Structure 1
Amino acid sequence: MTRTVLFAASDANWAEYRDVLPAAIADAGVKARVVTEAAPEDVDYIVYAPTGGMTDFAPFTNTRAVLSLWAGVERIAGLPSLTQPLCRMVDAGLSEGMTEWVTGHVLRHHLGMDAHIHGLKGEWRQDLPPLARHRRVGLLGLGALGRAAAEALVQLKFDLWGWSRSPRAVPGVHCVSGDAGLQAVLERSEIVVTLLPATPETQSLLNAQRLAQMPRGAVIINPGRGTLIDDDALLAALDNGQIGHATLDVFRTEPLPADHPYWDHPKVTVTPHIAADTRAGTASEVIAENIRRSEAGEPLLHLVDKTRGY
């Protein structure tokens, strides 16, 4: 039987996936047609991103699974009409891209590279940074992306503590959980990286109280979700010197408005949501594998717990 896979994302996404996705599904041994339009009752699988504009899944009564192109599913999981199984995107390209971005910016702040790049002309400053094993780094979030970043930082020998809402174990990382664990990570970390999902529990997790728990002059690196940070509290902490610098890749409103104070703040680095993006080639392989699993009656990969939002 030939299955129908509805590609429900933007036209730009379709241009990327038009050729590679059908090829990946065929390589997985599944007969399928990948289309951008179909009668809802004929659709077996939906490949989805919110950029396509679809919000009503109720007509798709025969759809076996909704396969997200995005790692973050906070804009999808809560849709009332979504009763089908939902799988988020976890693929090697996404993890590798995030790991490279996180590692690069941790090293940048660890080594004090900004002082050399933007230092005064003719100033001979030999400020020797500590070795990585003496730099205290905290990682908030130990899911797939957090774990990948943690493993790279461990290889560089950083003194790494990781926090998650539920207990996790990562070799080489001092892992903690719960409110007491979060406070412990914040109080000790000179550099904090946030890689948590956007949920009601993580909304403004880094608020004024928690920013005040960090060592004075600490650095925040956020490639996770814009909602993790209370923007007003962060700006105040930057202004009074409690936080030394913030490198931010994600924001509550994207693109970041041109008049947002982050743009001109001397202690803020803005990157335009480029820490990690889905690559069509590797993502298509993940989608194809989940379709193959569904057809074979095997458990789906990266299934979302809709009650938790990830």
Structure 2
Amino acid sequence: MDKGRILLAVTGFHPQRWHELLSAEREVVLEPDGPNDPSITYAVVWKQRPNLLSSLPNLRAIFSIGAGVDHLFQDPSVPQVPIVRVVADNLSRHMTEYVVWRVLDHHRQGALYRAQQAKKVWHEPQQRVAGDISIGIMGFGQLGRAAARALLGLGFCVNGWSRRPASADDVTTFHGESGLIPFLNATDILVVLLPLTPETQGIVNYDLLRELRRRNGLGGSVLINAGRGRLQRDADIKRALDDGTLKEASLDVFETEPLPKASPLWSHPKVFVTPHAAATSDPAHLVQPMLDQMNAFERGEPLQNLVDRAAGY
């Protein structure tokens, strides 16, 4: 079988490096040159324009270059072909680094030390023990499991919540609607790594945040969202911070991105903002696994890491 051509359509990413690496093995067509091209059998995409993929008559598979695939389902015309999501050690490492960084900063009172430095205050507050702090990871897939392993290695107690039953060594796991409140009640620092689906949109709201454990060694509950911005309600997070429901928050994602300059979250003293940078899609690490999958598929082997369309991830 001849090697199928690839359509590359990556909004928000500079396509040059992706094109260069994909072209090492296959012919690549840059959007907008691809519509109606019968020789294109694969699409490598991120936030492609509506109706683009449905214009490819011989499309056999879609590869999303980001960890999430919700952008694909915003286009109802996406063809009924397999969708492959990114699974790469480099992506997991980046996310784990971010989660550990933010957990440790909250645990070791980074905000307090920064405030003391600004005022030239020399004072050592009481230090906490990691084993007394419970980290709850909401979204216990590959990224969540990788973060859990790193946090366990530092001595934290770790809980995990997922839609379906899951298990992991030394992690207390919860699942489904019935397990959500018990999970939150046992969590001091909530780490959100959920996919965005119709069921999870807006799930991080005031009512959810009220269920976190506030009487703890941290002096209050903490939110870290490195998943998707539309999982949360920005106004509810501000409300929770203002009334003490939350002690602090680290937010990498927001309902509207870039975060509008008028947003009060930019200057909120209890919020640490990063620009959707927790885990970047690096073509140097992601392109070869895509090409390997295409080659295997053309040998008759099944594609791996497929998206469940019904579940939305």
Q: TM-score, normalised by structure 1?
A: 0.92
Q: State the Cα distance separating 1:58 from its structure 2 match.
A: 2.2
Q: Distance in 1 between matches of 2:66 and 2:157?
A: 31
Q: Distance in 1 between matches of 2:62 and 2:211?
A: 41
Cα deviations across residues 261-286 of structure 1 (Å, max 9, x unaligned)?
Answer: 11121111111000011001111022
- Is this contact kept in 1: 2:63–2:84, CA < 8 A? yes
Q: State the Cα distance separating 1:110 from its structure 2 match.
A: 0.8
Q: State the Cα distance separating 1:53 from its structure 2 match.
A: 2.7
Q: Secondary structure at the match of 2:266?
A: coil
Q: Are 1:113 and 2:110 an aligned pair? A: yes
Q: Structure 1 runs of 4+ off > 6 angstroms? A: none
Q: Are 1:35 and 2:32 an aligned pair? A: no
Q: Distance in 2 between matches of 1:180 and 1:53?
A: 38
Cα deviations across residues 31-74 of structure 1 (Å, max 9, x unaligned)?
Answer: x2122134521111111111x53533223221110111111111
Higher-RCO chain (CA-CA 8 Å, sequence separation at least 6)? 1
Q: Distance in 1 between matches of 2:75 and 2:151?
A: 36
Identity %: 38
- Is this contact kept in 2: 1:98–1:276, CA < 8 A? yes
Q: Which among 276, 286, 290 is matched to residue 289 of structure 2? A: 286
Which has the larger displacement, 52-61 or 208-217? 52-61
Corresponding letter in the other structure for 2:196: A
Corresponding letter in the other structure for 1:189: T
Alignment of 1:1-310 (within 5 A): 1-10=2-11, 12-23=13-24, 26=25, 32-36=26-30, 37-38=33-34, 39-50=36-47, 52-82=48-78, 83-119=80-116, 121-216=119-214, 217-310=220-313
Q: For structure 1, list consecutive stretches of 5 or more residues without a partner in the other structure.
A: 27-31
- Is this contact kept in 2: 1:9–1:53, CA < 8 A? no
Tell me the matched-pair count: 302
The RMSD of aligned alpha carbons is 1.7
- Is this contact kept in 2: 1:78–1:309, CA < 8 A? no
CA distance 1:9–1:215, change in 2 (3 Å): same
Q: TM-score, normalised by structure 2?
A: 0.91
Q: Distance in 1 between matches of 2:276 and 2:5?
A: 32
Q: Secondary structure at the match of 2:247?
A: strand
Q: State the Cα distance separating 1:161 from its structure 2 match.
A: 0.5
Cα deviations across residues 2-36 of structure 1 (Å, max 9, x unaligned)?
Answer: 4211112248431121222233xx3xxxxx21221
CA distance 1:136–1:11, change in 2 (3 Å): closer
Which has the larger displacement, 9-18 or 187-196? 9-18
Alignment match, 2:217: none
CA distance 1:199–1:303, change in 2 (3 Å): same
Corresponding letter in the other structure for 2:22: L
Q: Distance in 1 between matches of 2:27 and 2:120?
A: 64
Corresponding letter in the other structure for 1:91: A
CA distance 1:35–1:155, change in 2 (3 Å): same
- Is this contact kept in 1: 2:233–2:255, CA < 8 A? no
Q: State the Cα distance separating 1:190 from its structure 2 match.
A: 1.4
Q: Distance in 2 between matches of 1:231 and 1:298?
A: 44
